[in-house]
Structure 1
Amino acid sequence: MNRIEFLRNKMTEIAMDKGFTSPEAIKTSQELDKLLNLYESMKQTNSQKEVR
């Protein structure tokens, strides 16, 4: 969660400074997307384990 929050803040700063479509903003956004997908996948896995 710390890394997700860090990347959210970093992406916002980059986007405000260099633009939302700057290569650096896009790269950070993609890294954040990967982490969010991983987090959601882990949450789902844990929910399924609790049901069993």
Structure 2
Amino acid sequence: MEVKKLMKKIDALRKYMYELIEEKSDLVDPEVVAASQMLDSALYEYYKVLEKKKDK
């Protein structure tokens, strides 16, 4: 269940980041960078969960 939740979160963050990129037209805009960092964090969390499941 946790994996599905994280996948939804990742999808939402990715969409949010793409919308910001279109709006700002600047990849180094602080809001775009912050959105990218949030997405990176969620992806890291997702892969940690997958690794835990793999080790079991």
Q: TM-score, structure 2 length as denominator?
A: 0.82
Tell me the percent identity: 33
The structure with the larger Rg is 1
Higher RCO, Cα 8 Å, sep 6+: 2
Q: 4+ residue runs of structure 1 moved beyond 4 angstroms?
A: none
With normalisation by structure 1, the TM-score equals 0.88
Unaligned stretches of 5+ residues in structure 2: 1-6
Q: Which runs of 5+ in 1 are unaligned?
A: none
Alpha-carbon distance in structure 2 between the residues aligned to 1:38 and 1:3:
11
